[in-house]
Amino acid sequence: MGMLLGVSARRESHVLHIHTPESFLHFDRTGRFLRRIWADQVIRRGLDGRMLLVKIIRHGTKTYRNYRDLEETEKETALTEAYREAINVLHSLHPGDPWIETLEHWSAVALAGDEQAFQRVYLPISILPPDQYHSLVIQITHGCSYNECLFCDFYRDRKFHIKSMEELQGHIRDIKDFFGERLADRHGIFLADGNALIIPTQRLLSMLDIMKMEFASVATSFSTFMDTFNLKHKSSEELKAIYRRGLTKVYVGLETGSDRLRDFLLKPGTAAEAATALIRMKAAGFGLGVILLPGVGGRAFADDHLQETLDLLKEIPLTKDDAVFLSPFVEPSNPEYARKIRGGGLAAFSQEEIEAEVFRWKQHLRDYGPRVTLYPIEEHLY
């Protein structure tokens, strides 16, 4: 086969990058397809076999992202083409390269087995913070102990459960089998699902010890989601002990500093109570990722939502090591939210208005100090 023009292959032990005239293709150390990147779109494949297409849409000076899961037939086509192109490039540039055999092992059919294998290890990983997609997720709990916030659909499919030590040991064995050599590509451990800090302290400390021992090379850091209304069950000494044991970062669904909006959304606890919880976490040493929901509640709440959230943020001693995540509101499939908006004669925001809200929040937080980052939940793929 002759040399292809405008193509290149960068081969490392843990990843393969192929550059064709139209796109970049990436494969992991086992030869599984990771992503294809074109000028204005990306296809990413998750550990569970889901494939997400992200398109950049330009409207005048503005750009939007459109997200869509690929259908089964589209997945098959995308994978078949990716492998064919990558193998052609390698044959042309590096005949005899061991990566060729690695890629030839895979096909859309062979990769379909990942979906069932994933389901044997995990309940769906409903959401992760955007900087945790490369962590090793360990589901030490299932679901959320509250599960009733009006805007949140993440865990409505499951009952809250804290794994026993035996269940955790079994989960760890399953995770090791599932990842195999791919464990080396994971950085840090994320404790799912909703809120690991709700686990009684001694049990949580023992769980952290086990995970550190079992995943010594990955357990460089631990992080989790937390809610702000259950922290009263933990003393400051307990929080410090958990921090010292390695759980050092928490992502907090603060959502809003407006009590009126919190009530509307059925979010437990007042904004002042949430601020107290965050101040306690900072005092115990934790790094915080504070998640806010621009656009939720629509027009009737918009100004209070922004202003009272800005006021609340001023009370929390966040530093440059912390982060604020702006998560553009996405209407949940739970119909209660829309019903309550309509029933109250309120106006929900359109997609464009939510984009405008996010922009407005960003402007107000421009000189804030901690990193302010977008957190589009549609982008989540593990």
Q: Is 337 in the site for ligand SF4 (CB under 6 A)?
A: no
Selected binder of ligand SF4 within 92, 147, 201, 373 (CB under 6 A): 147
Binding status of residue 33 toward ligand SF4 by CB under 6 A: no
Residue closer to ligand SF4, measured from CB, 154 or 382: 154
Compute how many residues bind ligand SF4; rule: CB under 6 A. 11
Query: Per CB under 6 A, which region of 71-79, 116-124, 142-150, 165-173 contacts ligand SF4?
Result: 142-150
CB 197 within 8 A of CB 242: yes
Which one of the spans 56-64, 148-156, 243-251, 327-335 is the region binding ligand SF4 (CB under 6 A)?
Answer: 148-156
> Which of 149, 281, 290, 365 is the binder for ligand SF4 (CB under 6 A)?
149
Residue that has been written with the tokens 């993440």 in this structure:
154
Question: Torsions phi, psi of 100, nearest 5?
Answer: -60, -45
Structure tokens that stand for 117 in this block? 């294998």
* Under rule CB under 6 A, residue 253 binds ligand SF4: yes
| Binding residue (CB under 6 A) for ligand SF4 from 152, 219, 354, 377 | 152
Our finding on whether 373 is near ligand SF4 (CB under 6 A) is no
Q: If you search the block for the tokens 């791919």, which residue do you land on? A: 182
Of 114-122, 143-151, 169-177, 205-213: span binding ligand SF4 (CB under 6 A): 143-151
Instruction: State which of residues 33, 83, 122, 146 lies at the interface with ligand SF4 (CB under 6 A).
Output: 146
Q: What is the C-alpha separation between 247 and 285, in angstroms, rounded?
A: 10
- 44 touches 50 (CB < 8 A): no
CA distance 116 to 186: 21
Q: Where are the alpha helices (DSSP H) in 125-227?
A: 165-179, 201-214
Q: Check residue 129 for interaction with ligand SF4 (CB under 6 A).
A: no
Per CB under 6 A, does 218 bind ligand SF4?
A: no
Selected binder of ligand SF4 within 118, 154, 215, 361 (CB under 6 A):
154
Say how far apart CA 118 and CA 43 lie, in whole Å: 20
DSSP code for 257 = S
Min dist. Cβ of residue 153 to ligand SF4 (A)? 8
Q: Smallest gap, in angstroms, from Cβ of residue 256 to ligand SF4?
A: 11
Alpha helices in the chain (DSSP H): 72-93, 98-104, 108-121, 165-179, 201-214, 236-244, 259-264, 271-283, 299-315, 336-343, 351-364
Alpha-carbon gap, residue 216 to 172, rounded angstroms: 13
List the interface residues with ligand SF4, window 283-312 (CB under 6 A).
none
Give the number of other CB atoms < 10 A from CB of residue 358. Answer: 19
- Rounded Cα distance between 44 and 42, Å, is 6
Q: Does 144 bind ligand SF4 (CB under 6 A)?
A: yes
- The Cα–Cα gap between 284 and 282 comes to 5
Residues 13-32 that bind ligand SF4 (CB under 6 A): none
Which residues sit at the interface with ligand SF4, rule CB under 6 A?
144, 146-149, 152, 154-155, 194, 227, 253
